[in-house]
Amino acid sequence: MNTNGPPTLAVAAEEPARLLVVDDIEMNCDLMTLQLQRHGYRVSATSSGADALARVEAEHFDLLLLDIRMPGMDGLEALRRLRENHSALNLPVIMVTADAMEESVVEAMQIGANDYLVKPLSMPVAVARIEAQLTLQRMAGIKDDLVRFASHDLKKPLLVMMDMAQTLKQDLQPGQPVIQDNLDVLQMLLDTGHNMQRVISGFLDRESLRQGQIEPMHHAVDINGPVQSAIDGNRDYAASKGITLTGQLGDALPRVQANDFRLLQIMDNLIGNALKFSPQGSSVTVRTAVDGETQVCVEVIDSGPGLRDEDFPLLFVKHARLSNHPTGNETSTGVGLALCKQLIKMDNGHIGARNNPQGGATFWIRLPLH
């Protein structure tokens, strides 16, 4: 199976926080950068408020350390402009001042600063305050994940269950015999409920894993099982959009060392995304095969518009907005692919994407053999 194309974009589920230091004195930038890097942060630096604004719009940062006194655009004006597009929860800003300028600090807090530090920095205090803001940011992220989880992973199966329950209510009349079709619908209702239980348990396990409370579970998995389940679970969605969904699953594949629940979530997201962005009358194909001697690969191949060059760096970034839009007026939260990246990393796998020569795009995952 050909898996050439853009390099793997998967990264660790919890990356070191990325900070931006803004100070017009180069020595201060260098010193803070070095000290913060020693504490495990990824640190960038710039010497002006205007450049800081441009960097924030072009790159992702978890927190800013912003000097108040700077020539040109000072820290207060830079903060004022930052808060037009970035909330205090999404982008914490800690002001840095050479002295305890009470009026400036009060004004900064009123504009939307999260905290402040006085130079020369006490690094233990600085790290404690940085971590306090990052913890609040992570808690807000968990809340966002919960909203996304309820709307994305639970909404679709709940709608399916309600539709099946309504069908049973109409067909099952007092005194009438139960026909096989109704028994089949009842079994589908139970299966969907069991799948939702697995999804909820998996979400809670993932949050515990993020907090370091449990270890990721791996075992020998026949990858065709969760892949086929994801295909079956998306057939009605494909049919509603007039898209042909087919599986080309390899025979007698060696088992992979993974978690079948996480694989089901990944495949459901990848197949659902392919259907979401594919036009009516197109096709989506899911393939599994051995890739070399040490991996199994799954590909989800669509015949949609494909990806632009500027899309690739954003593919697996949470809440990123790509150039394509859903073809059936579906909503797109920009979290599905980021979740896939997080989940596949837990199973020591990789994820990536490429454009197809004949049009459309292919999203793939690779997992190590058992």
Quote the pLDDT of residue 176.
67
Domain for residue 28, yes or no? Answer: yes
Quote the pLDDT of residue 13.
37
**234: its two tokens:** 């998306």
Does residue 76 contact residue 52 with C-beta atoms inside 8 Å?
no
Return all residues near 245 (Cβ < 8 A) that are at least 6 apart. Answer: 231, 234, 235, 238, 271, 275, 283, 284, 286
Nearest to 75 by CA among 133, 24, 19, 130: 24
Domain for residue 130, yes or no? Answer: no
Do 161 and 250 sit in the same domain of this protein?
no
Domain for residue 300, yes or no? Answer: yes
Does residue 129 contact residue 115 with C-beta atoms inside 8 Å?
yes
Q: What angle do CA 269, 160, 202 make, to 5 degrees?
A: 45
Q: What angle do CA 283, 344, 312 make, to 5 degrees?
A: 60
Rounded CA-CA distance 281/322 in Å is 23
CATH number of the domain enclosing 308: 3.30.565.10
Q: What angle do CA 188, 192, 194 make, to 5 degrees?
A: 115
Rounded CA-CA distance 60/46 in Å is 14
Rounded CA-CA distance 198/233 in Å is 14
Quote the pLDDT of residue 99.
67
CATH number of the domain enclosing 43: 3.40.50.2300
Do 244 and 348 sit in the same domain of this protein?
yes
Domain for residue 133, yes or no? Answer: no
Residues in the chain predicted with pLDDT less than 70, given as ranges, are: 1-14, 99-101, 140-159, 173, 175-178, 182, 192, 194-218, 319-320, 329-335, 370
**119: its two tokens:** 């130079």
Quote the pLDDT of residue 245.
96
Do 238 and 363 sit in the same domain of this protein?
yes
Does residue 343 contact residue 269 with C-beta atoms inside 8 Å?
no
Rounded CA-CA distance 1/137 in Å is 41
Q: What are phi and psi of 337, to 5 degrees?
A: -70, -35
Quote the pLDDT of residue 3.
41
Quote the pLDDT of residue 64.
96
Quote the pLDDT of residue 286.
97
Do 241 and 358 sit in the same domain of this protein?
yes
Nearest to 152 by CA among 273, 235, 261: 273
Quote the pLDDT of residue 144.
60
Please return the burial class of 269, using the count of CB atoms within 10 Å of its CB with bins 0-12, 13-18 and 19+.
Answer: buried
Quote the pLDDT of residue 142.
61
Q: For residue range 249-278, what is the model confidence (pLDDT) as tens digits?
A: 999 899 998 888 888 889 988 998 899 999
Which pTM value belongs to this model? 0.52
Do 171 and 238 sit in the same domain of this protein?
no
Does residue 307 contact residue 353 with C-beta atoms inside 8 Å?
yes
Quote the pLDDT of residue 80.
94
Q: Domain of 157?
A: 142-210
Quote the pLDDT of residue 121.
85
Number of domains, the chain: 3
Quote the pLDDT of residue 198.
61
Residue 252: strand, helix, or coil: coil
